[in-house]
Chain A
Amino acid sequence: MANEDQVVAFKLRNEEYGFSILNVQEIKGLTDITRVPFAPEFIKGVINLRGSVLPVIDLKKRLGLEDTPYTANTRIVIVQYDEVAVGMLVDAVTEVRTINADDIDTSRTVTGNDSNSKFISGIGKVDDRLIIQLNLSEIIGLNGEE
């Protein structure tokens, strides 16, 4: 048990990604996103979550992936990290998976070395699928890189 981690797996284009379930607060259907002028490009806008205004990060843009149109499967995954709640715009949420820690490859050779590699904390292997584990603190970008 100790070596297992549950992840919320979701799709961006045709790749599968995951956040640790401990960071995921809830999953919401697509609602109106209000554009925020002058916001960093990867921030799609803000939404109203039960009276709180929450920023929504366009994950594809953040990871340098090409944009896709909204579909009926588009979801906003609300994650909580370091007291900050943020919505993540994803193409579809697939499932909650248990991944054995041994099955997660965190070596640099796997995560790559380009500018986007800092967003990836490892790659989990489940059956014959690969679930890319994301580094929330880098994605939210509170470390002052902007």
Chain B
Amino acid sequence: METNQYMEMFLDESREHLQSLNDGLLSLENDPEDLSVLNEIFRNAHTLKGMSATMGYTKTAELTHDMENLLDMLRKEQLKVSSEIIDVIFKCVDSLQEMVENIGNGESEDLVDVSDLVRQVNAIAKGDAAPAAEEAEEAAEGENAAAPVLELNDTDETVIREAKNSGLIPYAVHVEIAESCLLKSARSYMVMNVLDELGDVIKSVPPAQDLEQEKFDHSFDVVIVTDAEPKAIEDGVSAISEITEVKVTEITLSASKEETKEEAPKAAAPAAKKAEPKKADAKAEAKKPAGKNDKKAHVAGQSVRVDIEKLDTLMNLVGELVTNKVRLEQIGMTHRLTELTETLEQMDRVTSDLQSVVMKVRMVPVSQVFNRFPRMVRDLAKELNKDINLTIEGEDTELDRTVIDEIGDPLMHLLRNSLDHGVEHPDDREAKGKPRTGEVGLIARHEGNNVVIMVTDDGAGINADKIRNKAVEKGMISREEADALPDADAVRLIFLPGFSTAETITDVSGRGVGMDVVRSKIESLGGHVDVETKIDEGSVFKIKLPLTLAIIQAMLVKVQDEMYAIPLGSIDSTINITPDDIKTVQNKEVIVLRGQIIPIARLGEVLSVPKGADNDEEDIFVVVVHVGDHKIGIVVDNLIGQQEIVIKTLGKLLSGLKMLAGATVLGDGHVAMILDVSALM
């Protein structure tokens, strides 16, 4: 089969659709009445079926087909959405996922046994609505019977929804042309022109090419979004000669399919009731590639897979390009070649754009990892008989791709821990006077030059004494040592290898491999994990990850001849003071800024920068930075300016140096160190 070249695409798209299915099912579970979600799910399943059938994966296609039947019945309200049905569909999605992964690994899709599942699906379909099932099947199969009905596919709906959000109203316009008309295409063209002026034409049935080629009878339908009055549309179109009838109806989306049909009764052929408008849609989509892309971006960004190494190489090459450009600039300056300098200015713009694009390519929003957690939490909560509400925040936060790939497992571990050990059983919660539903949060955000990901819960918290006892029992520390530890430190013992506090070992977590694995993984990424906990109020696990290779805004400062970058995120303000403004408190230098006493650190001394000529300048530049609630003023010789920089690691040889968060290559090819402000505190 010549399908190999499509394999990657198939796998990527299948994964995308499966993810959408998961998301859709989750929101359906929360709001079983939401028909639009159901439609979305149905469409996803339908596309998946089509794709796998095309690729020759019959088993995948069959299972999707059965699942689709079930969905269709739900959609047509022949079945009620129940948690059993959703569970079964979830199982189908899981199996499909497994099948797709197997296919991806070059194995057979048959490895996954779905016969039970198929039986279950069919039992639900038949048992509850036996006659309906067949009809549903017919409906799903009857695609080729499609008549050109004004039905909206998901692309259109997305566009309409967006238009509605911006205050425009969608209308279905039904236009009839006189039977005697000789130049139907010309008339239709005029109609389209009028409509185009009034608003945005989203689609037409038949599609525009067919209209142009007179491939229609004497009527056609157009969907338009506009802020014009329906009357204006009607008048505008009727003004064209040989137009016999114009009917304008507003489209309401919730059950758009049914209503549109009713509103455009002349176009609705009887067969259309249960037919999928596959044909019409396909054409309409082909005609509007832009619309299609919009939808893609909306659902899940379209992607190309690229080897990370290639991106690294690309980035380094761009860096080299910039360095060479700077060299050329110098040549242009020394030899006063205006022409060269001017050309280089142009080139400068291109290279800096190029540079920033290449940098951004490597960044991926954490949502890529976070996506899979709602589903996991749901399943786990069910398994544990707990009521859990997962809140996700900051999923747009971007991290370097290599980090993204690695943090999935540790986060999974932490979430499992929170669910299993953190959040109590609903009854226990009630006894404690807490709401029965436990709150678990997954929060990502930038904090200085780090990305912080927090897993929070409002559960039982961690009992420091329990940890102490356990640690002593396991011979990890002595009783005296344990008792001497403050609570906060005692709790951190859970990160030591071989520690598990669960009284009973469940298969969810608590096999004693959890937390130390999390810690070593995070640390291997150059990060840090910490925990804060309060009995009966909950725990917060805080993962701090460096933005290896991330782009940050930084302030460049100069000390003697050395250049340093201070992440803008931790800068409060920059001020200009005179030596007299510096006071001492207990022999430590401080300044008073807006009534607040702020200790200062002279960067030159802190970093033991070799002393050059003493500059007895009156002005002292202070960069006030903060970490948490603490503030400190960094005294520097000069402020160079704000710049976007790429953080590079210093490599194995120089890892773990205090005060340095990495290095960056400046535009002129020089290397500057990036300060880790938190180490100054």
- Contact surface of A with B, Cβ cutoff 8 Å: 32, 34-39, 43, 45-48, 50-55, 84-86, 140-142
Contacts and interface: CB of A to CB of B under 8 A. Distances in A.
B1 interface: no
B323 A48 contact: yes
A51 B658 contact: no
Nearest to B564: A37
Interface in B582-613: 607-610
Contacts of B654: 36, 39, 43, 46, 55
Contacts of A45: 671
Given A36-B657, A39-B654, A142-B652, A52 B673 contact: no
Contact of B665 (A38, A51, A85, A142): A51
For A46, A85, A86, A142, the residue with the greatest tally of chain B CB atoms inside 10 Å of its CB is A46
Contacts, number: 82
Contact of A52 (B316, B563, B659): B316
A12 to B, nearest CB: 20
B670 A53 contact: no
Contact of A50 (B319, B649, B672): B319
27 contacts: A32-B670, A32-B671, A34-B663, A34-B672, A35-B609, A36-B650, A36-B654, A36-B657, A36-B663, A36-B673, A37-B657, A37-B660, A38-B659, A39-B657, A43-B653, A47-B671, A48-B323, A48-B670, A48-B671, A50-B317, A51-B315, A51-B316, A51-B318, A52-B648, A53-B649, A84-B651, A86-B653
Nearest to A47: B671
Contact of B650 (A50, A53, A85, A140): A53
Nearest to A142: B652
A38 B660 contact: yes
B230 interface: no
B32 interface: no
Nearest to A141: B653
Interface of B: 315-320, 323, 562-563, 607-610, 648-654, 657-660, 663, 665, 669-673
Contacts of B659: 37-38
Contacts of B610: 35
Contact of A53 (B562, B609, B651): B651
A85 B651 CA distance: 9
B82 to A, nearest CB: 56
Question: At the interface, is chain B mostly helix, strand, loop or mixed?
Answer: mixed
Contacts of A52: 316, 648
A87 to B, nearest CB: 11
Nearest to A51: B319
For B323, B563, B607, B653, the residue with the greatest tally of chain A CB atoms inside 10 Å of its CB is B653
A141 B670 CA distance: 26
Question: At the interface, is chain A mostly helix, strand, loop or mixed?
Answer: strand
B653 A50 contact: no
A35 B315 contact: no
Contacts of B316: 50-52
Nearest to A86: B653
B652 A53 contact: no
A48 B653 contact: no
Nearest to B314: A51
A77 to B, nearest CB: 15
Given A37-B659, A48-B669, A54 B651 contact: yes
A120 B650 CA distance: 27
B643 to A, nearest CB: 16
Contacts of B319: 48, 50-51
A32 B323 CA distance: 13
**Top 3 closest pairs, chain A to chain B, by CB:** A51-B319, A51-B316, A37-B607
Nearest to A83: B652
B671 A53 contact: yes
For A37, A48, A51, A86, the residue with the greatest tally of chain B CB atoms inside 10 Å of its CB is A51
Contacts of B651: 53-55, 84-85
Contacts of A53: 648-651, 663, 665, 671
A38 B607 CA distance: 7
A142 B653 contact: yes
A8 B317 CA distance: 27
A14 B504 CA distance: 70
B320 A34 contact: no
A84 to B, nearest CB: 5
A39 B610 CA distance: 14
A32 B672 CA distance: 11
Nearest to A38: B657
A53 B660 CA distance: 14
A84 B651 CA distance: 8
A84 B671 contact: no
Given A37-B657, A39-B657, A46-B663, 12 more contacts: A32-B670, A34-B562, A34-B671, A36-B663, A36-B673, A38-B657, A45-B671, A50-B316, A51-B316, A54-B651, A55-B650, A55-B651
